[in-house]
């Protein structure tokens, strides 16, 4: 399912960002800027983009550094950068945001992020919330706590022991592989993504999905999640910003939705007054590729309609 347009965008970080754009086929009302997850890519959001375009949304989604067809001198597949990878990823998001502002001046932007993309979106929001009309933070886990610090210690040990920035050997076992094994009667180690076997098969067959991230990429990802786990970093975000949080009841990556509920509770405790959250029953990690994806997409459209009318 191809996007309407594909092009390369030069980022100030030096990356050539592979960008997909789907123009609204109804009267344009807003732009949805999507951030994809770890070890996947932007083209997987084509179905969601088509759905949104029919409802008056332009859709922009790019491959993050080290993913898909994006290219950068310091970012081969599986690596954000030699240094400051997280900051460069956020700067790339800002570059696409600037492009949107230039191409659609005056249209509100709704920021969306899934999984690792939830961390990317939230980290962008914590630094640039004034530029965003609303944000959807999906299937993220910002309840890292001691586990996050342990992951950083493991990654530091791997970097020292392996002597170069190569794929982590331990983090995949503790994350993707462990989550796969946690699914009862699983047929593949990627069944934790969705109950839709056809969608899982597509992921497994896709050479741009499911690879092992480098030690430094894992470190950058964990650090972004930890940053989103600190209430003090929310100080500059307006408390009336519309926020949409979703997760899956059967998603081991978000502790079976508990991490989503925890973030919602934290934000409500910080005074966020325009927040909706939902953990979908029986749903695994990839909400947009689950068997009930039509419900998820319809719920998002209804929420977006409300925040645009407010």
Q: Which helix (H) or strand (E) holds 138?
A: strand 134-138
- Please tell me the predicted confidence (pLDDT) of residue 301: 98
How many CB atoms are located within 10 Å of the residue 310 CB? 10
Residue 148 corresponds to which tokens in the numbers above?
Answer: 């996050």
* Mean pLDDT taken over the chain: 96
Considering the chain, what percentage of its residues have pLDDT values greater than 70? 99
- Average pLDDT score over residue span 13-21: 98
Q: What digits encode the pLDDT tens for the residues 147-202? A: 889 999 999 999 899 877 999 999 999 999 999 999 999 999 999 999 999 999 99
Cα-Cα-Cα-Cα dihedral sign, residues 113, 117, 119, 123? negative
d(CA 89, CA 306): 30
* pLDDT band at 4; cut points 50, 70, 90: confident
- Please tell me the predicted confidence (pLDDT) of residue 147: 82
- Average pLDDT score over residue span 286-298: 98
Q: What digits encode the pLDDT tens for the residues 84-107? A: 999 999 999 999 999 999 999 999
d(CA 81, CA 75): 5
Residues in the chain: 310
Indicate the CATH number for domain 5-145+221-309.
Answer: 3.40.50.1820
Over 90: is that where the pLDDT of 144 sits? no
* pTM (whole model) above 0.95: yes
Over 70: is that where the pLDDT of 222 sits? yes
- The full set of domain ranges for the chain reads 5-145+221-309
d(CA 304, CA 53): 13
Q: What digits encode the pLDDT tens for the residues 232-281? A: 999 999 999 999 999 999 999 999 999 999 999 999 999 999 999 999 99
- Please tell me the predicted confidence (pLDDT) of residue 1: 54
């Amino acid at each position: 399912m191809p996007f309407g347009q594909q092009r390369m965008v030069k980022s100030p970080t030096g990356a050539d960002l592979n960008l997909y754009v789907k123009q609204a086929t109804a009267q344009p009302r807003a732009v949805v800027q999507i951030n994809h997850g770890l070890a996947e890519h932007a083209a997987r959001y084509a179905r969601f983009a088509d759905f949104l375009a029919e409802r008056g949304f332009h859709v922009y989604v790019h491959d993050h550094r080290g993913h898909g067809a994006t290219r950068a001198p310091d970012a081969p597949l599986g690596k954000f950068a030699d240094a400051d990878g997280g900051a460069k990823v956020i700067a790339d998001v800002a570059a696409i945001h600037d492009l949107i502002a230039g191409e659609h001046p005056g249209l509100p932007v709704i920021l969306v992020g899934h999984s690792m993309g939830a961390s990317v979106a939230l980290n962008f929001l914590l630094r640039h919330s004034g530029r965003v009309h609303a944000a959807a933070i999906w299937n993220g886990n910002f309840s890292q706590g001691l586990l996050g610090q342990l992951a950083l210690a493991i990654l530091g040990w791997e970097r020292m022991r392996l002597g170069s920035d190569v794929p982590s050997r331990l983090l995949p076992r503790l994350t993707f592989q462990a989550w796969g094994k946690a699914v009862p009667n699983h047929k593949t180690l990627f069944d934790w993504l969705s109950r839709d076997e056809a969608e899982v098969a597509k992921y497994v067959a896709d050479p741009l999905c499911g690879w092992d991230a480098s030690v430094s990429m894992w470190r950058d990802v964990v650090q972004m999640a930890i940053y989103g786990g600190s209430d003090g970093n929310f100080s500059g975000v307006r408390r009336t910003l519309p926020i949409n949080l979703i997760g899956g009841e059967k998603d081991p990556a978000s502790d079976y939705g508990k991490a989503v509920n925890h973030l919602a509770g934290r934000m409500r405790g910080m005074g966020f007054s325009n927040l909706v959250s939902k953990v979908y029953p029986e749903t695994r990690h990839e909400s947009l590729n689950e068997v009930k994806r039509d419900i998820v997409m319809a719920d998002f459209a209804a929420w977006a309609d409300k925040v645009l009318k407010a």
